[in-house]
Chain A
């Protein structure tokens, strides 16, 4: 997490709270280079404080600071697309042009990352005032609070791009896809709405696939015609920062798309 640490004045503290398994080799490097060169900005975004306070219910959510221009032009619109665990926002940003009529929300749990995406959107809007009005980001734990933000059936699309793998068996419960969480995703998705997921970790992809395939309210879209004509497919493969990282090392990626259905599928559980 290069950006996070370099942005932080208290490097050692950060490492101790956010160190990850994959970060280990870097830890030593960081210890030597405790040279804070960049003070945390008193956040440029007045939203962040509100974001800490997730709304009690969707009724209580004020979206206008997130989409000031877009909502002025289309006051009847609601968020219809969620990029769950949006990271540095590559997908969220590129969806803006791909789905110009829809409000798109990146959801991310890490503060610094949210701040980064937020500044990124602010800059993009400054550069091209008529664009990027339909995207925003907020800090939240998507595994807990989706029903606080969205009504039943509000979303048309939900994206899970390169989620954290949580390899250890004991931590599988923390994976962003599980049979019980899928019920919540089905709740926020409109009938016919789509869930996209992609990973470069085969084990995680198979896990996600298995859980979607086993959920009676989701049905895989296998028709290549449909997939080929979906403008979101190239974006999930190449637009996010993780996707680009995988591209650079020529890694493999696996993805699938499932549709939210209303009549539960009958699933034969073996045994």
Chain B
């Protein structure tokens, strides 16, 4: 799939209590109030400059946080959608989260570092801290991976922070004492694409084609489901690389998306176990890229890549029956009322290429494990860019053996 016809909805977030659904199309944030059935007006000058990467409500629903490819984080007040704060970051962002008190924002970047910024700090202080970071002072550095970070989430209690990387690992660090690593969840053999947490349980997707279920606190792997096996009968030619992305976990269902498949996969989920025999697939018009449960989890909104002019932006799924609801009113309203930014073919392709999922392709190409296999015979292979190493001699060794 390389051609798309219009800008899709790439991120969703919702808050049932407030009745708000926030979503993004390229760089534009939209917020729909389901109680009044109106869009909340957002100052156009405050919108992001480039594609939005994540949207998240604060735990108490008072704030909304967005991160974007333009390397800024914005914090919005959910009552009137005024932009409270806009923070420039030095690196490309993988994920941004508000702390429980909404006073700070935690930002994971593609260089592998996680920083924390206090939102009350003046712009000058932030600038200064950032400069200090460049000078090696690392004042706001919370933790770091020696690898690109792909996703970051807080545990429900906010006492732990989980980070996933391009090198197969999920790290569980204490929060705020993130220098104290609680555990690693090790088992994936390719980059980890997505983290999803529900109390003690973590769900991960990966470029290795599996979905894994963990007791994250002690890094214990509970279950691993190989999506290759599940879909090999459906897809005539399953891709060599499958990126699995767990999208949503409700009380009794898990939804999974496999990159470049026009299908939403679902399993029953109870007592921390995915019931493999309950596997079923919901056929869609095109590949999904974001989902959001609304209506107390009874309905799942699924956004689609538009491969034809008539592909809807979003479809609604009945979570009890696992079927598409043909004329769901909310989906219908969103499809009819959402202004879709106009982009040329070239820009659309660019958007497609820079959207999260397709970026993973790059990761799978870079996977060390794979590389190691391929270059097994090349004995002088260095895993990273050339390391500058000291010259050493074995004269000392000769002395020792004497």
Binding site for B on A (CB under 8 A): 1-3, 8, 13-14, 17-23, 26, 40, 49, 52-54, 56-58, 87-90, 93-94, 109-113, 116, 120, 141, 143-144, 147-148, 152, 162, 164-166, 168-169, 171-172, 174, 178-184, 186-187, 215-217, 239-245, 248, 264, 269, 271
B113 touches A180 (CB 8 A): yes
Nearest residue, chain B, Cβ from A14: B380
Q: Mark B359-402, 1 if CB is under 8 A from A, else 0.
A: 00000000011001100100111111011111111111101100
- Given the complex, which residues of A lie within 8 Å of B188, measured CB to CB? 56
- Given the complex, which residues of B lie within 8 Å of A244, measured CB to CB? 395-396, 399
B397 touches A21 (CB 8 A): no
Interface: B335 (CB within 8 A): no
- Given the complex, which residues of A lie within 8 Å of B391, measured CB to CB? 1, 20, 22-23, 26
Q: Which of B168, B381, B384, B387 has the most CB of A within 10 A?
A: B387
Nearest residue, chain A, Cβ from B375: A52
Task: Give Cα A155 to B138, complex, Å.
Answer: 27
Given contacts A56-B186, A112-B379, contact A3 B141 (CB under 8 A): no
Nearest residue, chain B, Cβ from A24: B391
Task: Give Cα A19 to B380, complex, Å.
Answer: 12
Q: Mark B340-355, 1 if CB is under 8 A from A, else 0.
A: 0000000000000000
- Given the complex, which residues of B lie within 8 Å of A215, measured CB to CB? 179
Which of B141, B180, B186, B400 lies in contact with A264, CB distance below 8 A?
A: B180
- Given the complex, which residues of A lie within 8 Å of B139, measured CB to CB? 269, 271
Q: Which of B180, B396, B400 has the most CB of A within 10 A?
A: B396
B180 touches A141 (CB 8 A): no
B49 to chain A minimum Cβ distance, whole angstroms, is: 27
Within 8 A of A (CB), among B142-177: 143-147, 167-169, 173, 177
- Given the complex, which residues of A lie within 8 Å of B113, measured CB to CB? 180
Closest 3 pairs between A and B when the two form their complex, measured CB to CB = A180-B144, A241-B396, A244-B396
Interface: B33 (CB within 8 A): no
A88 touches B146 (CB 8 A): no
Binding site for A on B (CB under 8 A): 113, 136, 138-139, 141, 143-147, 167-169, 173, 177-181, 183-184, 186-189, 368-369, 372-373, 376, 379-384, 386-397, 399-400
A245 touches B395 (CB 8 A): yes
12 contacts between A and B (CB under 8 A): A1-B389, A26-B391, A53-B369, A56-B189, A57-B187, A111-B381, A179-B179, A180-B113, A180-B144, A186-B181, A240-B396, A242-B390
Task: Give Cα A89 to B397, complex, Å.
Answer: 8
Nearest residue, chain A, Cβ from B114: A180
- Given the complex, which residues of A lie within 8 Å of B173, measured CB to CB? 183
- Given the complex, which residues of A lie within 8 Å of B386, measured CB to CB? 17-19
Nearest residue, chain A, Cβ from B221: A57
A109 to chain B minimum Cβ distance, whole angstroms, is: 7
Task: Give Cα A108 to B143, complex, Å.
Answer: 25
- Given the complex, which residues of A lie within 8 Å of B399, measured CB to CB? 244
- Given the complex, which residues of A lie within 8 Å of B372, measured CB to CB? 52-53
Which of A18, A141, A179, A217 lies in contact with B141, CB distance below 8 A?
A: A179
B396 touches A245 (CB 8 A): yes
A264 touches B179 (CB 8 A): yes
B180 touches A183 (CB 8 A): yes
Q: Which of B181, B381, B394, B399 has the most CB of A within 10 A?
A: B394
Nearest residue, chain B, Cβ from A165: B390
Q: Which of A88, A174, A180 has the most CB of B within 10 A?
A: A180
A143 to chain B minimum Cβ distance, whole angstroms, is: 5
Given contacts A2-B394, A18-B389, A148-B186, contact A169 B379 (CB under 8 A): no
A180 to chain B minimum Cβ distance, whole angstroms, is: 3
B135 to chain A minimum Cβ distance, whole angstroms, is: 9
A109 touches B187 (CB 8 A): no
A147 touches B184 (CB 8 A): yes
A87 touches B189 (CB 8 A): no
Nearest residue, chain B, Cβ from A210: B136
B177 touches A264 (CB 8 A): yes
B181 touches A184 (CB 8 A): yes
A164 touches B388 (CB 8 A): yes
B397 to chain A minimum Cβ distance, whole angstroms, is: 5
A17 touches B177 (CB 8 A): no
Given contacts A17-B382, A52-B376, contact A87 B392 (CB under 8 A): yes
A90 touches B167 (CB 8 A): no
Given contacts A49-B376, A88-B394, contact A164 B387 (CB under 8 A): yes
Nearest residue, chain B, Cβ from A218: B179
Task: Give Cα A22 to B392, complex, Å.
Answer: 10
Give 9 new A-B contacts, CB below 8 A, not counting A183-B181, A245-B392: A17-B380, A20-B390, A26-B391, A166-B388, A180-B146, A182-B179, A183-B180, A216-B180, A244-B395
- Given the complex, which residues of B lie within 8 Å of A181, measured CB to CB? 144, 146
Nearest residue, chain B, Cβ from A22: B391
